[in-house]
A and B are shown apart, each in its own frame.
Chain A
């Protein structure tokens, strides 16, 4: 394993692991640059799902038969893989969810429902995806707490100089994204977590855009909660995980009631299991958890540092090429950034551009990227976004530039 990581990954042969990329769209070779929305799946993950359903499936944690034992081992094995992947102290700190959104809602509803009161402050940033904004608005409405936002500077970075005045002792939770899905900004998460802890606030990291793209160690980072989605990192849709520090998960009451999460039930009252099981009512998404485990093993074989360098290099190259086109403005920071580039073109609206690109086999995303308030702040009707993963190539970026160049001529 170590010697494998020491050599540079063979990106060309890695690309061959993704059958979906070998196709034409509208008669043109597919270029998939919508990875920030969802990544594609390697054969290893597709096969893991197939193997699980062909051989091992039964319900977990209750059957005394062989298949139930195997399914339970596979499911709990996947939890252990997630724990190791995030550097958690124990697998008990990992709750399986449907994805980042559900993880954040769990914290906002169950933890927030118990600990956030009228007059408290929920601190967010101006660059949050709707999934790390709306659940807190709902909590604020229910509890009477107030929302505050760390401003975003024109260059797409957080205005950290405002932190001292915003992160006061009234703040109960500080929730922020690791990598912005529209700007590409990488936030200094360890610093933000430390700052939160210093005032006694709980921290939550939205790792939707980072979990599959760079090494994460929750203990080094010092976060209290961290949520991510499997489907953005080679895993199946409908599965993700929430990391919660043991002490916090223990203090958090269950949120959904039902089977699987109880110890004993009478007609009047029930007692609950410990974390993480008290948060997983009903039959869980066993197969996709197993698929997520396979995705983690796949990513770890390549190495997250190598993936990060590869994607960042693609982003740098894309910015350089985009700026060679007439009247293109790239959004977001010039320095370190994740593997995605948002831009606007004078010649065409993002939706016209993405329609044009699609007809040339190029999958881009155009619109507000679930960042409506941020787009409004920057006075943008939306942007066009190209987001990369390790199976993308500079040759694909060259082709994107040709297509965008043709779009400029077509629309002006």
Chain B
């Protein structure tokens, strides 16, 4: 089997795409972001409840799309839940670097997210991995209410 493919679709990633964690919607008090990748039709509905200190109290997602977009969203929610705002922001930057630039030693704090490093060898798939993170970035910026974000530059 092809090594690049095995790097891209590691067992953990396939598992998260088939059985996504934190799948659903937070009913109340959450910032909601609808993210889409119009070039391929991937969609994500992210809901995040921030605490008074700006930390991520709860985070859930729903949506549909390729294995990479769904697994990335699932892994992201697991990693961000309970993080302070500054930790979450740092993770957003670190993840973006992980899938777009050669990082000699990806930060250990990324944990299982490091499994998505293989995406770097598939430039057309970076958007898939980044979709949920773009939605989270939008949730940080918006701070409340419902908004939308797309991976295509407008």
* Chain B min CB distance to A337 (Å): 24
List, in ascending order, chain A residues with CB within 8 A of B8's CB.
355
In contact, B39 and A367 (Cβ under 8 angstroms): yes
In contact, B41 and A411 (Cβ under 8 angstroms): no
Q: Give A339-374 as 1s and 0s: 1 = Cβ < 8 Å from B's Cβ atoms.
A: 000000000111110011001100000111000100
The yes or no answer to A326 lying at the interface (CB within 8 A) is no
Q: Which of A360, A368, A381, A411 interacts with B65 by CB under 8 Å?
A: A381
Taking CB atoms and an 8 Å cut-off, the chain A residues in 355-412 that contact chain B are: 355-356, 359-360, 366-368, 372, 375, 381-382, 410-411
Known: A26-B2, A410-B1. A349 touches B67 (CB 8 A): yes
Q: Which of B5, B14, B38, B40 interacts with A351 by CB under 8 Å?
A: B40
Q: Bound state CA distance, A368 and B39, in angstroms?
A: 8
Q: Bound state CA distance, A349 and B38, in angstroms?
A: 15
In contact, B41 and A368 (Cβ under 8 angstroms): yes
Q: Which of A348, A351, A360, A410 interacts with B125 by CB under 8 Å?
A: A351
Q: Bound state CA distance, A348 and B125, in angstroms?
A: 15
Q: Bound state CA distance, A351 and B131, in angstroms?
A: 14
Q: Bound state CA distance, A146 and B9, in angstroms?
A: 47
Q: Give A139-164 as 1s and 0s: 1 = Cβ < 8 Å from B's Cβ atoms.
A: 00000000000000000000000000
A-B contacts, 29 listed (Cβ < 8 Å): A26-B2, A26-B4, A348-B67, A349-B66, A349-B67, A351-B40, A351-B42, A351-B65, A351-B66, A351-B128, A352-B67, A355-B5, A355-B122, A355-B124, A355-B125, A356-B5, A359-B2, A359-B5, A360-B2, A366-B40, A367-B40, A367-B41, A368-B40, A372-B41, A375-B41, A381-B64, A410-B1, A410-B5, A411-B9
B residues adjacent to A (C-beta < 8 A): 1-2, 4-5, 8-9, 14, 38-42, 64-68, 122, 124-125, 128
* Chain B min CB distance to A28 (Å): 9
List, in ascending order, chain B residues with CB within 8 A of A367's CB.
39-41
Task: Kindly report which residue of chain B lies nearest to residue A360, judged by CB atoms.
Answer: B2
* Chain B min CB distance to A30 (Å): 15
* Chain B min CB distance to A311 (Å): 27
Task: Kindly report which residue of chain B lies nearest to residue A376, judged by CB atoms.
Answer: B41
* Chain B min CB distance to A375 (Å): 7
* Chain B min CB distance to A196 (Å): 33
In contact, A359 and B39 (Cβ under 8 angstroms): no
Task: Kindly report which residue of chain B lies nearest to residue A407, judged by CB atoms.
Answer: B5
Task: Kindly report which residue of chain B lies nearest to residue A366, judged by CB atoms.
Answer: B40
Q: Bound state CA distance, A356 and B5, in angstroms?
A: 7
List, in ascending order, chain B residues with CB within 8 A of A359's CB.
2, 4-5
* Chain B min CB distance to A207 (Å): 26
Q: Bound state CA distance, A360 and B38, in angstroms?
A: 27
Q: Bound state CA distance, A92 and B128, in angstroms?
A: 48
List, in ascending order, chain B residues with CB within 8 A of A366's CB.
40
